Amino acid sequence: MKKQKESQCTQKTISLLSPLGTIQVSGCENGVHTIQILMDVAPAERSSEAPLSCVVNDSPAETSPELQRCVEWLQAYFSEPQTTGSLPFPAFHHPALQGGAFTSRVLHVLLRDVKLGETVSYKRLAEMAGNPRAVRAVGGAMRRNPVPLLIPCHRVISSSGQSGPYMSGKGNHLKQWLLTHERQRGKG
């Protein structure tokens, strides 16, 4: 199997402070590469009094328009999630989101079809992506999502209605927080 050569990018990283803790957004002039939720805030420290804002903590002097667009989208998501639908979406520049591979298809279907405040089962998402028998592959696609929050893998739940794992099971409390945030704050 040939390894695909990644184009040479000059990546920059912006660090944001959010109700989830620190979020790092990396990208180049072509688009967003990754979003990492660092989980540096213990769940007990998160409370209803926590500010629902997302502020830049550390940023390079110059950022690409795509990174800036991503920051603006994340800031809106945490403060007024119902407004994100009217904001321009940043471009993606990560191999997992390019081409016609199943992972890419699943992630794009999730982004396009599962709206704020909604959830979808792994099984239903497999059907929506054109392969009803690929339920486990959908789970794999969620694990490989390089841009959580933008592509809302937290909205994918088990057929029983249980929330299912998030960030390989380490971020289950974050998934619950995000789903509750969207239900409570997403009403416009």
Catalytic center residues: 153
- CA-to-CA separations, 132 to 32, 87, 115, in angstroms, rounded: 30, 32, 21
Provide the sign of the torsion angle of the four alpha carbons 36, 42, 43, 49, taken in this order: negative
Among candidates 73, 62, 79, which has minimal Cα distance to 14? 62
Residue 179 carries which side chain, given as an amino acid letter? L
Identify the bridge partners of residue 151 per DSSP, sorted by sequence position: 148
Residue 86 phi/psi, 5-degree rounding, is -100, 0
Both tokens assigned to 171: 């971020």
Task: Give the other-Cβ count within 10 Å of 143's Cβ.
Answer: 13
Among candidates 24, 30, 98, 16, which has minimal Cα distance to 64? 30
